[in-house]
Structures are given as C-alpha cells and as structure tokens.
Amino acid sequence: MHTVTLCNGVAMPAVGYGTWRTPNETVGGLVETAIRAGYRHLDTAAKYANESGVGDGIRACIDQGIVCREDLFVTTKVWNADRGYGRTIRAFETSMQQLGLRTLDLYLIHWPAASQQYDCWKALNTETWRALEDLYKAGRVRAIGVCNFKPHHLLPLLDTCEIAPMVNQIELHPGMTRADEIAFCQENGITVQAWSPLGTGRMVENPEIQAVAARYGRTPAQLCLRWLVQKGVVPLPKSWNAQRMADNLNLWDFKISAEDSAAIDAMPYFGGSGEDPDKVMF
C-alpha cells in the first residue's frame, strides 16, 4: 500500500475509500468489499449518517482476520452544527461510539465557519480547532485537519492555532484544479485530500478524459486519480462496484506526461458539486 507521510510523521494510505451518500444499511458490506479489494483508508463523516455501518464493516474484517485495526486509517468529521469547543468534543465521542473505535486516525472540521454566515467566523473556527488540538494531545486521534478551507479560511487559523492542520480535504477533479490552493497547503505542510475526485462520476463521461486515458491504456477514472496522485494529492474515490473499487487503487504502474497533465489542468469547469465554502448556507 502506497502511503504519504503527514507533517507529524503519520503514514496515510495514498488512496482512500469515500462513503459520502452511501446509506448506513449498505455501507458495512461495501467497506468490507473495499478492504478485501485492498483499501486501508476509509473516509466517513458524522453528517453522512453511516458511521455505525462503517464500523460494522471494519469489525467484520477484523473478526475474519483480514486486517488488524492498526492496518486501517479511519477518518471522520465534525459537522457544522457541532462547531465550538464543547460541542465538538461531544460530537467526537458520539462519532467514536458510532464507529465502535477507541482511537481515530484523522478527525476533520467538515466545513469552515465563514463570513457569509457568521461575523465571528474566525473565533468559531478557532474554538472548534482547539477541541481537535486537545483530542490530538490526549491521544484520541493520530492526526487532525480541516475540509473545504480556502487559504483565506486557513490563514487566521494558522495564526491562532497551537498545532497546525495536517490535512485539508477539498473538492478536486479535472475542471476544478485549484492549483493555488494546493500550493498554499503544501507550502504550509498540509496534505491535500480530494473529495469527489471523479466529479461524482461526471469525469469518466468526458470525451477528452476518455481520449487521454485510452492513450495510456487506462480507464478514465484511473487517469483522473493518477493526475491527483502525481500532484501529491490523496484521492478518496467512491464506488459501490467491487471491480471499479479495485481499478481505482491500481494507479502505480503508469505515469501521466507533464504535457498531458498540463492539458488536464487547463480543462474548463465541466461539473462538480457546486458547493462553494464562501457561499454555502449550511
């Protein structure tokens, strides 16, 4: 399993399995299939309402001797309604109960509090972050970070934090390259993860992506994921299909040329979630 090393020395598998929009009733079986396919990095969130199913899938694999807990890298996230110090600590404990885990590998703030909703957005992020720092210092979680933070959200946090975020999970896929944001994070020692790296499936239908992928003898999904991996980004693809899960992990025996990579970088926006951290009202 290829890994990237976070700024605190923790190794994180270089591709993760995403579970956004996967119902709790089915996620356990899918997590088990993903682990059997080779995934060791699982991404969920309190907001996905599927943490207990993810925990069931993990336990099933441990009980069958497929993996040990230590082999897995498990991420969850504190939802927006639980911002602030006390609420975040309680939300963490609830997530841990749901997952059935004693320690977590990565805990993330799901969205920044931002100026379109709050005058005191910086203080709110600082207080939420202080809870993550304390959970980290107490050894409950091996790494902490944020999601959907742009540089202007990160800068005030970097000014006030004691421990800097180790990860920023943002939406990235062809047509949404965000080179400046990746550079800002990497210059500050923050590992970037990509959610919806296949644009919730839209990328694989694009003729230009299909044509480049065909030249490498790869699937369009593998091309999109490899394009991210070559930037040092950790993609979190979702699939409910065992073959596609396995294909999405098989990225290590080809290299996209600088020219093709630049052509993908330059593709105009052609679909994505439409959720801008500076506009969302949830």
* Least gap, CB of 106 to ligand A2P (angstroms): 18
Phi, psi of 43 (to 5 degrees): -120, 120
Residue type, 172: L
Backbone dihedral angles phi then psi of residue 163, each to the nearest 5 degrees: -120, 125
Does 85 participate in catalysis according to the annotation? Answer: no
Instruction: Write the DSSP symbol of residue 269.
Output: P
Q: Which of 87, 90, 178, 244 binds ligand A2P (CB under 6 A)?
A: 244
Interaction of residue 204 with ligand A2P, rule CB under 6 A: yes
The answer to the question of residue 277 lying near ligand A2P (CB under 6 A) is no
Helices (H), 149-276: 151-160, 179-187, 207-216, 220-229, 242-247, 258-265
Q: What are phi and psi of 252, to 5 degrees?
A: -105, 0
Regarding 26 and contact with ligand A2P (CB under 6 A), the answer is no
- Kindly state whether residue 76 participates in binding ligand A2P, applying the rule CB under 6 A: no
User: Does residue 238 touch ligand A2P according to CB under 6 A?
Assistant: yes
How many residues at the interface with ligand A2P, by CB under 6 A? 18
Inter-residue contact 135 to 141 (CB < 8 Å):
yes
Q: Is 196 in the site for ligand A2P (CB under 6 A)?
A: yes
CB 110 to ligand A2P: min, Å: 16
Residues paired with 18 in a beta bridge = 43
Binding of ligand A2P at residue 248 (CB under 6 A)?
Answer: yes
* Minimum CB distance to ligand A2P, residue 68 (Å): 27
254 part of the interface to ligand A2P, by CB under 6 A: no
State which H helix or E strand residue 24 sits in: helix 24-37
| Residue numbers at the binding site for ligand A2P (CB under 6 A) | 18, 196-201, 204, 219, 221, 237-241, 244, 247-248
The residues annotated as belonging to the active site are 48
